[in-house]
Structure 1
Amino acid sequence: MKSQPSSSIEDYVKVIYSFTEWQDKPITSSQLALRLGVANSSVSEMVRKLKDQGLVDHQPYGAVRLTDAGTRLALTMVRRHRLLETFLVHELGYSWDEVHDEAEQLEHAVSDTFVERLAEKLGHPDRDPHGDPIPTPTGRVEHPPALRLGELDPGHEGRITRISDDDPEMLRYLAREHIVLDTAVHVVRRKPFGGPLVVRIGAGSGAHDFDVPDSIASSLWVRSDTPHEGCTLEHA
């Protein structure tokens, strides 16, 4: 009988996948160590183990990339994590800045049966509270056609479709400013001399201009009001 992967292995493949989910640049061992909060030597040892198990491709001093098997395991864990976050927000009243660490603890303890019952209870949601897509049980992932706010030109209009959950303090700040998923945005201008991006938040009489520093603009993804086709991936 094939043994279940350890929680450490599950954490590693999930972090590798999440790092590359919204951008093409692969993760390095040092970046992996930073995101997991462990020593570089610990990462080197674990990456060797992952490679031996056929979960990653890695050459000395090179980037770490998931194999097909590693991607399948990562998507399983991502599905668990994002469904748990959604449950904590919608059913237990957690705020969106609280759920990441709770889901990190719970995702290793629940069974596949529990996860599917949870999905059914929630009505099979397709995104979590931060806008990240929830993989289907077969590994299908549909990413909305969105760009980082900081990459958009003046005049662009759309809605916030994803907010990075890396910084809980930033999430609390955005919530106080009523900048949440599906909020309408209009890029007004960039202030001179490297100043912040000026964005009109909301619509109608409630709209207001908001100065968005680069640290926040790089953490918000906007979907254009012009219809596009999403990007769908499926891993067998």
Structure 2
Amino acid sequence: MKSAPSSSTEDYVKVIYSFTEWQDKPITSSQLAARLGVANSSVSEMVRKLKDQGLVDHQPYGAVRLTDAGRELALRMVRRHRLLETFLVNELGYRWDEVHDEAEHLEHAVSDLFVERLAAKLGHPGRDPHGDPIPSASGAVERPDAHRLSELDAGHEGRITRISDDNPDLLRYLATEHIALDSDVVVVRRKPFGGPLVVRIREGGAERDFDVADEVADSLWVESGRPHAGCTLGQ
């Protein structure tokens, strides 16, 4: 009988998948080490093991890419993680900046049966509290056609559909400013001399302008389209 993958294996394939989920550029060994908080030598050894297991493709000094088997395992782990995050927010009252680390611990302990019961309990949600799509049990992913706010030109209108959860401090900051998923947004202009991006947030007919620093603009993903009235702000 084939042994179950280790928690380290599960963590590695999940990070590799997550890095490339919203961009085409593959992850390098050094980037993988930085995201996992481990030494480059540890990553090199683990990548060799993953390659031997048929989970990644990797050539010396090249990028690390998931094989079909690696992607299948990664999607299973991503599904677990994001369902757990959703459960923690919706059912246990966690804030959206608290759930990532908690889900990291829980995802290795729960069974496939538990995950499917959890999905049913939550009504089979399509996204987690940060807007990341939750893969289906079969591995299908419905990702919105969204782009980073920092990449959009003045006059662009849309809806915030994903907020990166890499930085809990940034999530707390956005919550205090009442900027959340489904916030309607219009790009007004870029202030001169490398200044911040000015965006307009619309809420139920009211509008307010907001200066967005580059780090924040890089963390917000906008789905194009004319904003709708009556959106709900805050988390």
**Shorter-chain TM-score: which interval?**
over 0.9
1:169 alignment partner in structure 2: 169
| Structure 1 residue 205, shift from structure 2 partner | 4.6
Q: Which residue does 1:206 correspond to in 2?
A: 206
**Residue in 2 that maps onto 1:234:** none
What stretches of structure 1 of length at least 5 have no aligned partner? 228-236
For 2:77, the equivalent position in structure 1 comes to: 77
Cα deviation for residue 225 of structure 1 reads 1.6
> What's the secondary structure of 1:105's corresponding residue?
helix
- Kindly state the Cα deviation for residue 206 of structure 1 after the two structures are TM-superposed: 2.9
For the residues of structure 2 that align with 1:162 and 1:7, how far apart are their CA atoms? Answer: 27
Give the secondary-structure state (helix, strand or coil) at the position aligned to 2:178. Answer: coil
In structure 2, what is the Cα distance between the partners aligned to 1:48 and 1:163?
A: 33
Residue 16 of structure 1 aligns with which residue? 16
Q: Work out the CA distance in 2 between the residues paired with 1:6 and 1:60.
A: 24
**1:224 CA displacement:** 1.1
Gapped runs of 5+ residues in structure 2?
Answer: 228-235
Q: What code does the residue aligned with 2:55 have?
A: L
Please name the residue that 2:148 is paired with: 148
| 1:191 corresponding residue in structure 2 | 191
TM-score normalised to structure 1 length: 0.95
Instruction: Say yes or no: does 1:115 pair with 2:115.
Output: yes
Q: Distance in 1 between matches of 2:155 and 2:222?
A: 13
Superposition deviation, residue 226 in structure 1: 5.6
Q: CA deviation at 1:2?
A: 1.3
Is 1:220 aligned to residue 200 of structure 2?
no
Q: Please report how far the alpha carbon of residue 203 of structure 1 lies from its aligned counterpart in structure 2 after TM superposition.
A: 3.4
- Displacement, 1:207? 1.6
Matched, 1:95 2:85: no
The equivalent of 2:40 in structure 1 is: 40
Greater mean alpha carbon deviation, residues 72-81 or residues 194-203? 194-203
Give the counterpart letter for 2:96 in structure 1: W
- Cα deviation, 1:80-115, whole Å, max 9, x if unaligned, reads 000000000000000000000000000000000000
Q: Does 1:60 align with 2:53?
A: no
Distance 1:25 1:65, change over 3 A: same
Normalising by structure 2, what TM-score? 0.95
Name the structure 1 match of 2:233: none
Query: Which amino acid counterpart does residue 160 of structure 2 have in structure 1?
Result: I
Highest relative contact order (Cα 8 Å, sep 6+), 1 or 2?
A: 1
Deviation of 1:220 after TM superposition, in Å, equals 0.3
Which whole-Å CA distance do the structure 1 matches of 2:12 and 2:43 have between them? 9
Aligned positions, number: 227
Aligned residue number for residue 4 of structure 1: 4
Matched, 1:127 2:127: yes
Cα deviation 1:199-233 (Å, max 9, x = unaligned): 00123553210000111101100011269xxxxxx
In structure 1, what is the Cα distance between the partners aligned to 2:49 and 2:190?
47
CA RMSD of aligned residues (A): 1.1
Give the whole-Å Cα distance in 2 for the aligned partners of 1:92 and 1:55. 35
Q: 1:123-176, CA deviations, whole angstroms, 9 ceiling, x for partnerless residues?
A: 000000000000001100011011100111111111100000000000000000
Q: Which residue of 2 aligns with 1:49?
A: 49
Give 1:160's aligned residue.
160
Same amino acid, percent of matched pairs: 81
Shift of 1:198: 0.2
